[in-house]
Each structure stands twice: as structure tokens, then as C-alpha cells.
Amino acid sequence: MLAAVRVGGTNLRDQTVVFLGAGSAGCGIAEQMIKNMVKEGMSETDARARFFMVDRNGVLHDQMQDLLAFQQKLAQPLDRIGPWASQPASGVSLLDVVQQAKPTVLIGVSGQPKLFTEEIVRSMAAGTARPIIFPLSNPTSRIEATPADLIDWTDGRALIATGSPFDPVNYGGRSIPITQCNNSYIFPGMGLGILAAGARRVSDRMFMAASEALAACSPANKDANAPLLAPLGEVREMSKEIAFSVATQAQSEGLAETTTADVSRARIDAQFWKPTYRQVVPAGKGA
């Protein structure tokens, strides 16, 4: 997400975000994004006003009786979104929210396929130059919309990341790479930074630092048509940069011994290892 907003020439705090799927995954992502918006200078109240969580019963609002604890802080006031319902008996639908809130970001974590319809996507794309659309549900059969459709429905303007791997999309004479948004980019560097720093615990800001370090490695920083994330084959070198950011953040929060940058990098190198597998020789075919 940080890489995508940079391609669009904006900041995270400038986004209006709609989630399809308000379970622990969607709400957890939303909360981390809110923390980052606050870090960028926005008040928490204003940041929360920019998030709309849509579940099977429509957008979450504060008059729903069965909200889970982690959903309650993300529920919008009913008097704000109630008038948006095109069919009041059915609640405020995803299409209603897109048409009324005019989001710049649409994230799918519903586990239900094809719910990002052409009407919804075209409505969203009409209001933003570079719509950010992340259909993250997997496997491929559960994705909210395919990258090819999203590219077509947004006239090639969408910035896309998916939960499953997809081949590049050919559109308008160019090949558009599709980024797979996967936690395997973050976790090796997180673990390496924690171990190298000797961090006593892991904070939200350490995860934030890891995300910012990963975004700094985005090929899209140099070429707006490049993927939002580098190939997974480059994760080893990226992990060192992520680890350094995580270790530095842990030190700044008093969660690890304060050292110089050189010492931190030396400790990261010392903890870094490459697995080497011995060849297995079948019985009777060698020593």
C-alpha cells in the first residue's frame, strides 16, 4: 500500500479506504493503516472516518448489535452512512459505499469470488486517477476480481496487488506486472531484525518500520509501470534492509540495547545464514 500511494503521488493519509471483508484479517490491516495515517500527522478520529468495512450485512455501523470487539472501533456512525442505502431493507451495500464515499483504495479479504463487479470497479475508477485495488483473497478461485478484468475496467490505470500469483496482463500494447502481496516479504526480515537487536518484544511500530523499508525497495519508486514489490528472488537482500529498520525501531522504543548503525548491521550479517542442503545418495549407490 505504501508503494502504491507513492506511485500515485500521494500519501496514505490522503486515501479513503473500503474493505470487503470485516473479519480479523481486514480489520487488522485497517488498524495498521490507521496507525500509519496517524504517524503521517492525521488525528485518529479523522483517520477512522476514512475507513468503511463491508461485511455480509453491509457496511459496519455503530447500531449493529453483533459486532465483535475488534470490529466496533471501525464501525461508522449510522447517521452518517444510513442515507446511503439504495435499498434500506438490505443495508448499505458495497456499491452504495463506493458511490457515496468515493474511495481511492478497495481491498478484498472476503474469501468470496467475483464480488468486485464491473459496475463497482468502474464507479470507483471514475473518481480517482490511479485506483488502488487489492483483491487479496486466495486461492485464485476465491479472488474478488481478476487482474485482467480490473485493468480492463479501469482503462489500465489500476494499481493492483493480489493474494495469489498472476501472470502479467497485456493491455494497450504493454505488459503490466501483477504484484503478489505476501507476508513472506516481511517475516524473514522481521525475525532477523529481532534476533540481531535482541529485542525483548515486538511492537506495532516495528511492523510499520518493516513495511516502510519494504516500500523503499519497490521497483515502482523508479518506474511507475514496474511492480509494487520486487521479485521474491531478491528477498534475501531486502531482508537485511528490513532487519536494520526493525532493529533501529526496537532501539528507539527502548526494546533493545542502543547501538550504532555499524554495530547493528554487523550483528545482522552475523545472524544471516544461507541454508545449504547435502545431497542425499540412495542406499547402495555411494558411500
Would you kindly state where each structural domain of the chain is located, as residue ranges?
A: 2-181, 184-271
Residue 20: name the closest of 92, 100, 128 by CA: 92
2-181 against 184-271: fold identical: yes
Question: 108-145: b or e for each residue (b if 16 or more CB lie within 10 Å)?
Answer: bbbbebebbeeebbebbbeebebbbbbbbbbeeebbbb
The rounded distance, in Å, linking the Cα atoms of 244 and 21 is 33
Residue 163: name the closest of 181, 144, 142 by CA: 181
The rounded distance, in Å, linking the Cα atoms of 262 and 102 is 47
Residue 272, class by beta-carbon neighbours within 10 Å (0-12 exposed, 13-18 middle, 19+ buried)? middle
Residue type at 40? E
Cβ proximity of 114 and 148 under 8 Å: no
Write phi, then psi, for 138 (nearest 5 degrees).
Answer: -140, 160
Cα dihedral sign, 170-232-242-205: positive
Residue 58: name the closest of 101, 88, 102, 100 by CA: 88
C-alpha cell at position 70: 475488534
Give the three-class secondary structure for 252: helix
Tell me which CATH code domain 184-271 carries: 3.40.50.10380
CB atoms within 10 A of CB 237: 11
Residue 231: name the closest of 163, 178, 278 by CA: 178
The rounded distance, in Å, linking the Cα atoms of 180 and 178 is 7
pLDDT at residue 287, as a whole number: 54
Q: Which CATH number fits domain 2-181: 1.10.150.570, 3.30.1490.190, 3.90.226.10, 3.40.50.720?
A: 3.40.50.720
Tens of each residue's pLDDT in the chain, 287 residues: 999 999 989 999 999 999 999 999 999 999 999 999 999 999 999 999 999 999 998 999 999 999 999 999 999 999 999 999 988 877 899 999 999 999 999 999 999 999 999 999 999 999 999 999 999 999 999 999 999 999 999 999 999 999 999 999 999 999 999 999 988 899 999 999 999 999 999 999 999 999 999 999 999 999 988 899 998 888 999 999 999 999 999 999 999 999 999 999 999 999 988 888 888 888 876 55
- Residue 38 CB-half CA count within 13 A: 14
Interacting residues of 53 by C-beta distance below 8 A, sequence separation 6+: 19, 22, 26, 27, 30, 59, 60, 71, 74, 75
Cβ proximity of 151 and 125 under 8 Å: no
DSSP codes of every residue in 138-162: SSGGG-SS-HHHHHHHTTT--EEEE
pLDDT at residue 69, as a whole number: 95
